[in-house]
Structure 1
């Protein structure tokens, strides 16, 4: 009898691997959309950061408490700092962040694309994700989105 119960439990757990019951399957692959975004004023007027030129990569990694958002951006020149994902909208099942960075204090060379990359992240709890179907990160020239399966 114990073997039957264990076999059924194993089959049930394996069957859930490819479904929405498995939290590791909640978000699918991302997609990129090329756009030209006009600079918006952040909610905090003391925040003088600019939109990163391009969002190069965006991923969502599940954790026991929720997810970790990771984004990589590429400004026009080297030396940008204090990158952050700033929430700008939460409506109709969509969560939208702007990827903002401070420019360098003095003019800097453009350098190679890899030398300009800036990475930031943020953690969202299950409570924060309630009702969210799509998460989008916006840069000045593109936006990347990941939709929940």
Structure 2
């Protein structure tokens, strides 16, 4: 008779702890929220190491937790079809803010503009749990806008 009561008590305690963990900063799914628009950073004195141009517009940006860390995924809109070799290139890391440039290689020959949906390009970058420990905000920037996600 004591065993079912004890099991019920343990189960109730575990459920209470789960709701606290669900809303805590220990839960990796709470680390980064939805992205939001931010101002584009300009660095006039620095020449980028990567000569590929920035994507025209960053449409979406998410930080998706995985067991080993997180995947930063961004969707961008270049000016025409045929852009390739997309990559998130780390620009800077200061005061807990990691900034990526969304860079693409232009088409080798002129391409039609096409519909916006047909031009979308998605790229990603992996961040380990160790690296995430010092990051409070991630910014992905394009030519005309940038998107940010905070812890």
Same fold (TM over 0.5): yes
Paired residues for 1:1-149 under 5 Å: 1-33=6-38, 35=40, 41-43=47-49, 47-148=50-151
- Give the 3 Å change call, closer, same or farther, for CA 58–140 of structure 1 in structure 2: same
Runs of 5+ consecutive residues of structure 2 not aligned to the other structure: 1-5
Contact 1:73 1:118 in 2 (8 A): yes
TM-score by length of 1: 0.89
The higher radius of gyration belongs to 2
- Give the 3 Å change call, closer, same or farther, for CA 36–78 of structure 1 in structure 2: farther
Could you say what the CA RMSD is over the residues aligned between the two structures, in angstroms? 1.8
Alignment length, in residue pairs? 145
TM-score by length of 2: 0.88
CA distance in 1, matches of 2:110, 2:65: 39
| 1:18 shift after superposition | 1.7
